[in-house]
Amino acid sequence: MKFKTSDQIATIKPYVPGKPLKEVEREYHISNPVKLASNENPLGFSPRVHDAVNQQMKDMNRYPESSAYILSNKLAGKFHVQPQNMVLGNGSDDIISLLAHGFLNPGDEAVMPLPSFLMYEISVKTAKGVPVMVPLADYATNLEGLVDAISPKTRLIFITNPFNPTGSTITWDEFNEFSQTVPDDVIMVVDEAYIEFVRDDAVYNSLTHPLQDPRIVTLRTFSKAYGLAGFRVGYGIMDAEIAEVLNRIRQPFNVNSLAQVAAAAALDDEVFFTKSIQATHEGLDFLFDALETMGIRCLPTQSNFLMLDLETDATQVFEELLKQGVIVRSMTSYGYDTFIRVNTGTKQENLIFIQALKRVLKR
């Protein structure tokens, strides 16, 4: 018996994550591979997280607190908002899905860059909405193109700042000019998964003055700078009316107990957080210098990763690096056939990557 799939679902391309370490070990018979493909924190997470999670284990026969009271209040205090402005999610992509299902009727449109985080498109399509794609301009978000794509059916606009995968950014002036041209009934979803790594004060940061514009929904994550990718914790800060809709439709226990205490403990450890950001910046500086010496062009970045043009088949280089135990991300699926994306690792991991790349490219 053949079941008929929803027409919208049938058009969805599955999200393909970076290759897991264990998979590479199995396929290539390699011990201790270096993973620089998923923009993770190579330092791990705060020791306070370990202690908090161990303490929580004794209560794992109980359901989590649905409101994530402690974590929500910590975040509200950090950003000087109220708990009713918070929405917690199983990763920020959970909140992306909630936004699509909460504010899109069948046939409504959501405008987004092309390429961009695939979960924008997937969430819109599963909500029976229509994704409207706007190609990048010189590897950066085409804000003018996003505005031109707005129609009477537009309900959401997705913006990523810094942008993944290119690392480009939107300045305060650029965003302010853009936002003035967006209709009052369109929600601007500002995905700031990498904002903690930004070094340039000119880059727009939506939580410097939160909630001044009720159309802005800010998305952030604990997966990157805080090193909690495996715990899956994201959060959104938004107008209370929007938050009420999302909290009404989210799963009641979408952030598990271990994730809640892990994120709360991570927020309390400013020393580890600062160490992680510093290590990222030092790693980026090392990689830029080493790659420049090799004659490889890198795109500017304000994130914890960089995109580099190998001027040859990126997939082939990706495969050759895998054989040497180095996992990066080929950008072929994004339409950049000669580019790979690499996130910063530890000092040793960064050095291993450069040495492996030199062997592969014979430089």
Over residues 42-62, the pLDDT tens digits come to 999 999 999 999 999 999 999
The proportion of the chain whose per-residue pLDDT surpasses 70, expressed as a percent, equals 95
Q: What is the per-residue burial (b if ≥16 Cβ within 10 Å, else e) of 179-217?
A: beebeeebbbbbbbbbbbbbeeeebbbbbeebbeeebbb
Binned at pLDDT 50, 70 and 90, residue 155 comes out as: very high
Mean pLDDT of 242-266: 96
310 has pLDDT over 60: yes
| Per-residue pLDDT reduced to its tens digit, 105-147 | 999 999 999 999 999 999 999 999 999 999 999 999 999 999 9
How confident is the prediction for the chain on average, in pLDDT?
94
Mean pLDDT of 230-242: 97
Mean pLDDT of 265-287: 97
**Hey, where are the domains in the chain?**
18-45+271-361, 47-269
Which of 5-9, 63-67, 218-222, 275-279 has the lowest average pLDDT? 5-9
Contact, 87 vs 243, CB < 8 A? yes
Which token pair is 204? 């727009």
Query: What kind of fold does domain 18-45+271-361 have according to CATH?
Result: Aspartate Aminotransferase, domain 1 (3.90.1150)
Strand 339-343 versus strand 329-330 pairing type: antiparallel
1 has pLDDT over 60: no
- pTM here is 0.92
Residue 73: strand, helix, or coil: helix
Residue 75: strand, helix, or coil: helix
CB atoms within 10 A of CB 342: 26
Q: What is the pLDDT of residue 7?
A: 73
Alpha-carbon span 164 to 17, nearest angstrom: 14
Binned at pLDDT 50, 70 and 90, residue 25 comes out as: low
The CATH code for residues 47-269 is 3.40.640.10
Q: What is the pLDDT of residue 21?
A: 64
29 has pLDDT over 80: no
295 has pLDDT over 60: yes
Q: What is the pLDDT of residue 347?
A: 96
Mean pLDDT of 352-361: 96
